[in-house]
């Protein structure tokens, strides 16, 4: 009985510690979001492009923490030719779209 109670108490303490760590992490994330919002607002007031400024800030922070080499995308050829337009009916394909007849389907 006592061993069971001790184990239960130990598990509860671990759970409480985990909850405390999670709460701290959430607080830090919330603070970071708030800082970014303030920076965005200030740059908007100055008339700058706030999105570009935000991206620069994020790149600077991520570059300081990890030195990962950015991967370049392989050059892909387009699926269809440049003149392909599915609505016009041109540019290949056996199916062409045609608008339906106007008015009621069965006339008087």
d(CA 18, CA 7): 17
Q: What percent of the chain has pLDDT over 90?
A: 34
pLDDT, residue 17, reads: 97
pLDDT, residue 93, reads: 57
pLDDT, residue 99, reads: 67
Q: What is the pLDDT of residues 11-45, one digit of tens each?
A: 999 999 999 999 999 999 999 999 999 988 888 88
- Give the mean pLDDT of the chain: 76
pLDDT of 79 over the 60 cut: yes
d(CA 40, CA 53): 8
Domains of the chain, residue spans: 2-65
Helix or strand or coil: residue 99? coil
């Amino acid at each position: 009985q006592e061993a069971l109670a001790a184990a239960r108490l130990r598990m509860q303490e671990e759970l409480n510690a985990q909850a405390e760590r999670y709460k701290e992490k959430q607080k830090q994330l919330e603070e970071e979001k708030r800082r970014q919002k303030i920076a965005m607002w200030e740059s908007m007031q100055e008339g700058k492009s706030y999105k570009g400024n935000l991206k620069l800030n994020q790149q600077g922070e991520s570059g300081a923490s990890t030195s990962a080499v950015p991967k370049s995308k392989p050059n892909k050829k387009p699926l269809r030719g440049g003149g392909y337009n599915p609505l016009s009916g041109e540019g290949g394909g056996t199916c062409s779209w045609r608008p339906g007849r106007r008015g009621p389907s069965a006339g008087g």
